[in-house]
C-alpha cells in the first residue's frame, strides 16, 4: 500500500479486500441508518409526540429487514446486499425528508416499513416465492 494512505484509508482497504466492496458498502449504509435513527430519537413530530423507545425503532427495522430477505445480513449474497444498501439509503431519506416536512413520527416509521414491505414483495417476485 502507498505510504500516502492514512491509517483509516489503510483499514478501509484491508476491510474491502477481506469482505468485498459490496459487503463493506452494506456495513457503511447500516452505520449511516443507525446514525440517522439516533438523530430521529430526539425528533418530535407535528403531533407533539417524541420517542418512547430509542432502541425500539432500530430493532424493529433490523427485524423487518431480516424478514424481508429471509436471511441474516451475514448470510446475504451480493445481490441481496446491493438491495439492502438501497433499502438502508431509502430509510435514511425517509427519515430526513419526514423530519424536514415535520411529519408525525408514526407516519415516518410507517413509510419506512412500507418500503421494507415493498422490498419483500419485489424480492419474492424475483425469486419465485410470490404468493
pLDDT over 50 (residue 124): yes
Could you please report the per-residue DSSP string of 8-42?
A: HHHHHHHHHHHH-HHHHHHHHHHHHHHHHHHHHHT
The structure's pTM equals 0.83
pLDDT of residue 1: 46
What CA dihedral angle connects 81, 72, 125 and 128, to 10 degrees? 110
Quote the CA–CA distance of 83 and 22 in Å, as a whole number. Answer: 10
pLDDT in tens, 26-83: 999 999 999 999 999 999 999 999 888 878 889 999 999 999 999 999 999 999 999 9
Q: To the nearest whole number, what is the mean pLDDT of the chain?
A: 89
Amino acid at each position: 500500500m502507498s505510504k500516502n494512505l492514512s491509517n483509516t484509508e489503510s483499514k478501509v482497504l484491508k476491510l474491502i479486500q477481506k469482505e468485498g466492496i459490496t459487503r463493506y458498502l452494506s456495513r457503511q449504509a447500516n452505520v449511516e441508518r443507525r446514525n440517522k435513527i439516533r438523530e430521529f430519537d430526539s425528533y418530535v413530530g407535528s403531533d407533539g409526540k417524541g420517542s418512547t423507545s430509542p432502541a425500539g425503532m432500530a430493532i424493529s427495522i433490523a427485524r423487518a429487514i431480516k424478514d424481508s430477505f429471509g436471511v441474516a445480513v451475514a448470510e446475504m449474497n451480493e445481490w441481496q446486499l446491493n438491495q439492502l444498501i438501497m433499502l438502508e439509503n431509502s430509510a435514511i431519506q425517509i427519515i430526513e425528508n419526514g423530519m424536514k416536512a415535520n411529519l408525525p413520527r408514526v407516519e415516518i416509521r410507517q413509510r419506512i416499513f412500507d418500503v421494507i414491505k415493498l422490498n419483500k414483495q419485489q424480492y419474492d417476485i424475483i425469486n419465485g416465492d410470490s404468493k
